[in-house]
Amino acid sequence: MISIGCRMVRTMVPSVTRDATPLVSRPARVELGSVRHGTWSGRDRDRESVAKLASLSEEPVAGLATTVLGVGLVTGVGPNTTLVEESQETPALARQLFLCAVHPPSVTGFPPTRLTERTVLVIGRDVGELGLRIDDPKLSRRHFQVAWDSRQGAPRITDADSSNGTYLNGRRVATSILSPGDVIRAGGTLFVVDDVTRRPTLLSHVDRAAASLLTVLLVGETGTGKEVVARRLHQESRRPGPFVPVNCGGIPRDLLASEFFGHTKGAFSGAGAARPGLFLAAREGTLFLDEVGELTPELQPTLLRALQERRVRPVGAEREIEVDVRLIAATNRPRAELAEGEGFRPDLYARLAQVVIILPPLRERRLEVLPLAHELATDAGGQLDITANAAEALLLWPWPHNVRELKSLMDAHVVMHPRGTSLSLKALHELRPELGEAMRDRNRNATSPPTAGEAALKNPLADRQRLEQLLARHGGNIRAVADELGAHRTQVYRWLERFGIDRGRR
């Protein structure tokens, strides 16, 4: 099982690939419930928590900061926390790509094929020992080949003069370099190029973090399931108190202090009775601060002190009250914005980001889209019988609202179509016109050559080099880089995170 968006779904990750090379997928040795829940404060207790978290990992630990292999998990302590991208720590694993069959359901049992320097793989209805034979009447006997391109250092797909053509990300191709996330269509069969070595790790990282007392920061776009992960952290920490969620952007500015820390009777006009506040309400439990990046500058120093001292003073009170609370924060802002003081105190960010868990958007986890759609349709009381055209549309849609958007689509499909009705491209267009229309436009332009911009974006190395050049030209000024690219500053931060570019090491 692996966490994806707002769901925990089973994934197709076998322990052995077609070339019989075992995947590295070691479960974390987590002893749940072994952490005390007493009141804590100060760096000594932080060091104990880091040691506890590090002991659960099979990776080496350097000082008080460590990176655990997987989906963007970084840990550290205090203002000197080191944020290390997994791509920097594990370059060999990050480059391992696999070809995974995802549609129709009859092919999903095929093990992923590792794409290495030795790969020569032929796909079709009638192939030899080096091929993958698929019983698809729309496939040619030898439909396409995947082999390693030594000059590009990446796998290359080549159409084998097939009758119906080979399509890469909706565009018919004769040959092209493959990248992570690519969607291949041959006949009625769909494949996704994926790095499956990273896949089984998110839940184990969540469980490792749950076993410590460190503050956790969840980073992900809207709809990626940050609250679901926060609840799992609380559940696996075995803390006896409640889980108390709060949306930091939904509290009126003049009520923030009393909402968080409580108030005494008569503390201000309208305070007819004393209230405990969120920190005391979550005593011996977990306080989840959703959209923590929206906290007002006025409240940030007080929150920082509460985290450091583990004490709060209700509005109107003379004495502080000791609290035992596990804090989990979440944001949809790129963490670089928070760390660099974009409307947020860097010292508060350092305190919140003792453990950072990044939840990737659904568009970056295409291998999960169809299994998740099937589960969501089942949960809605129906089933998903989907055509190849519609399945390709789901795989290629960018999902701006992530799993929340996919769930809404599956709910509508179950309600609007009786059981046994296939979800076709026409039905998809009726349910979500923008999604169906995007696929129709893609089909109209399927045989046209890619534009220069599309070709550049196809090469991650070229993209990375361009960003580094722009950063150097503008002295690291993100706003200037964004203006030249015609993009928002937030998008530039996301690109920097995607390519693992450190503005301080150009």
User: For residue 139, which amino acid is it?
Assistant: L
Query: For residues 447-467, b (16+ Cβ closer than 10 Å) or e, as one string?
Result: eeebeeeeeeebeeeeebebb
Instruction: Give the count of beta carbons closer than 10 Å to the beta carbon of residue 85.
Output: 19
Query: For residues 119-138, b (16+ Cβ closer than 10 Å) or e, as one string?
Result: bebbbbbebeeebbebebee
Distance of alpha carbon 130 from alpha carbon 125, whole angstroms: 13
Domain borders along the chain are 97-194, 362-444, 452-499
Phi, psi for residue 146 in degrees, rounded to 5:
-120, 125
Per-residue pLDDT of the chain (506 residues; tens, 9 = 90+): 333 344 444 433 333 334 433 332 222 222 222 222 322 333 344 444 434 443 333 333 222 222 222 233 333 333 333 232 333 333 333 457 899 999 999 898 888 899 999 889 999 999 877 689 999 999 999 999 999 999 888 999 999 999 999 999 999 999 999 988 999 999 999 999 987 555 546 777 888 899 888 999 999 999 888 998 999 999 999 899 999 999 988 887 777 777 888 777 766 776 667 778 888 888 999 999 999 988 888 888 888 988 888 888 887 777 888 889 999 999 998 877 777 766 788 889 989 999 999 888 998 889 889 999 998 999 899 989 999 999 999 999 999 999 899 999 999 999 998 877 889 998 998 998 888 676 665 565 555 444 433 444 444 444 677 788 888 888 888 888 877 776 777 778 777 777 777 765 44
The pLDDT of residue 121: 93
Distance of alpha carbon 497 from alpha carbon 505, whole angstroms: 14
The pLDDT of residue 95: 53
In words, the CATH class of domain 452-499 is mainly alpha
The pLDDT of residue 420: 73
Contact criterion met (CB below 8 Å) for 9 and 1: yes
Distance of alpha carbon 55 from alpha carbon 352, whole angstroms: 21
CATH topology assigned to domain 97-194 = Tumour Suppressor Smad4 (2.60.200)
The pLDDT of residue 191: 97
The pLDDT of residue 346: 87
CATH topology assigned to domain 362-444 = Helicase, Ruva Protein; domain 3 (1.10.8)
Domain 362-444 matches domain 452-499 at the CATH topology level = no
The pLDDT of residue 85: 32
The pLDDT of residue 440: 62
Q: What is the pTM of this model?
A: 0.64
Distance of alpha carbon 233 from alpha carbon 357, whole angstroms: 11
